[in-house]
């Protein structure tokens, strides 16, 4: 506790009787300030002044500002709003009554604080303000300094799905994208969808092996184990559907990773200019061989033509298209693009599942140009086949498919 004794200014006296009367008055009316909280105050924030023998006949100044609207709670407590103070730092609070004056020094963060304060804990300092602890450690304040200016609990105006805490007085969960939160984590009750690991599925009709292991037997197993996984091509069949025992959807990447951003909400016809977003990488993919108003194509072009086509492309309102790198194409396989693009068999679907969609990639089982050059032979450039992630280098004059990405 920090106490500040009143600074008593006695009136002049020429007689013993007057001196006795002044001493009696001082003893009766003497008061002092014991504390002011919070120690660090911001303009508009309510202060609590504690002490002894307060009355409503007193005058109150903070800095050079006289405050006439303070509230006397009792003879030990006064409440008053902190006046507007533009300069941060030390400031003096003064209570006076007649010839008696009590002073107390505290601090204000003002409205444009640039200096580094010293405090004991973050709860002593306003939210966002930097300060030093008593041991010299730099920290940031967490206290809401002026509750009247703090955002309301969003349930006040009939919103739902909100959370209210000291640091987030009002958060609308509808604006929190689960794809920005890692799987297994949550933010204010929103479970994350962002997967950082994608594993292969299995097809026991192609491979399922139980110990002891051999190099000639392929389908004598009973359980699906990690060594039974296969590639997404699935021997030119549909996307594999079997999961390794014990693995969860948190490591499974399929069409659910991809989001349809087509203007009419559905990439489901040849007339659509299809945009599909990979929500793990954040890349947006064009349809194959993109051209406004035209169906997805399978036209093979050489590498320089592919680069130029994406670089000059104006498609779906965007002009920042480019050819994907080798790793981005390989990553698209890892994220399940083969289930999204058309593989030549099964029912062709559009919006919703985005499964086997010929309006997006007219053929996902052939090779696509990457922007990446083979370092050991610069006249060769890498391509990737999305059905398996297979990648190899080939001469730039050869023909491959083209799909563009942004950003």
pLDDT at 7 over 60: no
Q: Where in the chain is the domain with CATH 3.10.100?
A: 256-406
Cα angle 253, 401, 264; round to 5: 60
Minimal CA–CA distance to 270: which of 360, 339, 353? 360
| Confidence grade of residue 115 (pLDDT, cut at 50, 70, 90) | very low
pLDDT at 198 over 70: yes
- Joined together, the tokens standing for residue 288 give 């194959």
Angstrom distance (rounded) from CA 333 to CA 183: 20
**pLDDT tens-digit readout, 231-265:** 988 888 888 889 999 898 888 888 889 999 998 88
Whole-number pLDDT of residue 235? 86
Whether the model clears a pTM of 0.85, i.e. scores above it, the answer is no
CATH of domain 256-406: 3.10.100
The DSSP code sequence of 266-296 is ---STT---EEEETTT--EEEPSS--TTS--
Q: What is each CA distance from 274 to 254, 260, 282, 341, 356, in whole angstroms? A: 19, 8, 16, 12, 14
**pLDDT tens-digit readout, 328-380:** 999 999 999 998 888 876 555 544 457 788 889 999 999 999 999 999 999 99
Q: Where in the chain is the domain with CATH 2.60.40.10?
A: 4-108
**pLDDT tens-digit readout, 274-320:** 999 999 999 999 999 999 989 999 999 999 999 999 999 999 999 99
* Other residues' Cβ atoms within 10 Å of the Cβ of residue 10: 12
Which helix (DSSP H) or strand (DSSP E) does residue 186 occupy?
Answer: strand 186-187
CATH of domain 4-108: 2.60.40.10
| Confidence grade of residue 153 (pLDDT, cut at 50, 70, 90) | low
**pLDDT tens-digit readout, 66-91:** 988 899 999 999 999 988 876 666 77
pLDDT at 138 over 90: no
Rounded average pLDDT over 218-241: 86
């Amino acid at each position: 506790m920090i106490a500040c004794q009143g600074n008593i200014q006695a009136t002049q006296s020429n007689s013993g009787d007057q001196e006795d009367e002044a001493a009696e008055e001082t003893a009766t009316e003497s008061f002092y300030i014991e504390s002011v909280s919070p120690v660090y105050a911001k303009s508009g924030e309510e202060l609590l002044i504690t002490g002894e023998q307060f009355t409503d006949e007193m005058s109150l100044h903070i800095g050079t500002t006289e405050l006439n609207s303070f509230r006397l709670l009792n003879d030990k407590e006064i409440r008053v709003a902190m006046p507007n103070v533009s300069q941060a730092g030390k400031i003096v609070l003064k209570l006076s009554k007649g010839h008696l004056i009590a002073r107390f020094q505290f601090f204000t963060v003002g409205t444009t604080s640039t200096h580094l304060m010293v405090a004991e804990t973050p709860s002593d300092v306003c939210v966002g303000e930097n300060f030093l602890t008593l041991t010299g450690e730099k920290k940031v304040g967490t206290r809401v300094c002026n509750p009247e200016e703090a955002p309301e609990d969003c349930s006040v105006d009939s919103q739902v799905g909100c959370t209210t805490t000291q640091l987030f007085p009002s958060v609308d969960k509808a604006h929190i994208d689960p794809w920005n939160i890692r799987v297994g984590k949550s933010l204010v009750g929103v479970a994350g969808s962002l997967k950082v690991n994608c594993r292969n599925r299995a097809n026991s009709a192609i491979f399922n092996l139980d110990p002891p292991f051999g190099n000639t037997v392929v389908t004598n197993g009973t359980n699906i184990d990690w060594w039974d996984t296969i590639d997404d091509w699935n021997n030119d069949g549909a996307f594999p559907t079997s999961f390794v025992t014990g693995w969860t959807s948190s490591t499974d990447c399929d069409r659910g990773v991809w989001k349809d951003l087509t203007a009419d909400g559905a990439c489901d016809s040849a007339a659509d200019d299809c945009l599909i977003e990979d929500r793990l990488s954040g890349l947006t993919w064009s349809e194959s061989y993109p051209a406004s108003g035209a169906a997805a194509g399978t036209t093979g072009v050489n590498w320089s033509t592919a680069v130029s086509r994406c670089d000059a492309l104006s498609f779906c309102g965007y002009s920042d298209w480019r050819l994907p790198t080798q790793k981005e194409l390989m990553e698209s396989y890892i994220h399940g693009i083969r289930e999204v693009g058309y593989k030549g068999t099964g029912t062709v679907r559009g919006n919703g599942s985005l499964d086997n969609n010929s309006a997006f990639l007219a053929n996902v089982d052939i090779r696509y140009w990457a922007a990446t050059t083979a370092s050991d032979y610069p006249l060769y450039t890498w391509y990737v086949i999305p059905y398996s992630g297979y990648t190899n280098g080939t001469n730039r004059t050869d023909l491959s498919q083209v799909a563009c990405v942004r950003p």
